[in-house]
């Protein structure tokens, strides 16, 4: 009798395991499909709404991606107008040239030199115990790159502007920014290879 009970119990266990496995197989497929569809939908929405600023190009074909990493480039100088606070940064090739004496030594900046003028709307600091303007809303990145083959008519420099809209958190290539945009005012410093800002002592 004991042997019969054991066999019956073993049979019951096998049947329960089979039912459990069948139920898991039947129902586990649904959540996996639902999760996969949900994840895919999120990725598609993210791809549509998240902007890769480095995919932008100016009307003249200057790619923002040429300046990838500019956020961490070394500071050359800063400037202030009535409307804008500016910080000028340059890529390592240009910083190296600056440190070697360019353009004060009469030499031009090497091909591949890049400089970015970062511009903010200013505001009065509400925290400093003295009167000081600090950056408020970021407005635009004005970029220049040295490529004499691409820009022979503008002293070897290409110019572009990428505007930033804080409300939408998006950059756009300025439609008025042609390859010679900015060149007309930079002619004033032709003797300095068209660059206004020297590398400031620090």
Q: What is the pLDDT of residues 75-87, one digit of tens each?
A: 999 999 999 999 9
Task: Note the pLDDT of residue 97.
Answer: 98
| 128 and 95 belong to one structural domain | yes
What CATH number is attached to the domain comprising 113? 3.50.70.20
- Specify the DSSP class assigned to residue 50: S
Task: Note the pLDDT of residue 38.
Answer: 45
| 46 and 63 belong to one structural domain | no
Angstrom distance (rounded) from CA 150 to CA 57: 15
| 42 and 75 belong to one structural domain | no
| 85 and 159 belong to one structural domain | yes
pLDDT in tens, 147-168: 999 999 999 999 999 999 999 9
What DSSP assignment string belongs to 65-132? GGGTTGGGSEEEEEEE-SS-EEEEEE-HHHHHHHHTTTTTTSPPPPTT-EEEEEEEEEEE-SSSSS--
Q: Is the pLDDT of residue 138 over 50?
A: yes
| 30 and 91 belong to one structural domain | no
Q: What does the pLDDT average to over 192-202? A: 95
| Domain presence at residue 116 | yes
Number of domains in the chain: 2
85-90 vs 114-124, strand pairing mode: antiparallel
| 25 and 105 belong to one structural domain | no
| Domain presence at residue 29 | yes
| Domain presence at residue 199 | no
| Domain presence at residue 41 | yes
Phi and psi torsions of 137, nearest 5°: -95, 130
100 three-class SS: coil
pTM of the model: 0.72
| Domain presence at residue 201 | no
Please give the residue that has the higher pLDDT: either 26 or 57: 57
Residue 17, domain extent: 1-50
| 109 and 132 belong to one structural domain | yes
């Amino acid at each position: 009798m004991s042997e019969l009970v054991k066999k019956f119990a073993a049979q019951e266990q096998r049947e329960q395991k089979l039912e459990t496995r069948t139920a898991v197989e039947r129902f586990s497929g649904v959540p996996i499909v639902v999760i996969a569809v949900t994840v895919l939908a999120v990725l598609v929405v993210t791809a549509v709404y998240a902007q890769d600023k480095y995919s932008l190009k100016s009307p003249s074909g200057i790619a923002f991606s040429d300046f990838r990493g500019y956020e961490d480039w070394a500071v050359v100088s800063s400037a202030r107008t009535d409307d804008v606070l500016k910080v000028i940064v340059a890529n390592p090739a240009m910083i190296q040239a600056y440190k070697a004496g360019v353009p004060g030594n009469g030499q031009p900046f090497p091909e591949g030199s890049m400089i970015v003028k970062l511009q903010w709307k200013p505001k009065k600091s509400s925290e400093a115990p003295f009167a000081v303007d600090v950056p408020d809303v970021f407005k635009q990145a004005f970029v220049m790159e040295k490529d004499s083959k691409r820009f022979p008519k503008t002293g070897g420099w290409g110019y572009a502007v990428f505007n930033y809209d804080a409300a939408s958190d998006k950059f756009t290539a300025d439609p008025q920014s042609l390859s010679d945009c900015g060149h007309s005012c930079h002619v004033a410093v032709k003797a300095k290879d068209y660059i206004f800002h020297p590398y400031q002592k620090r």
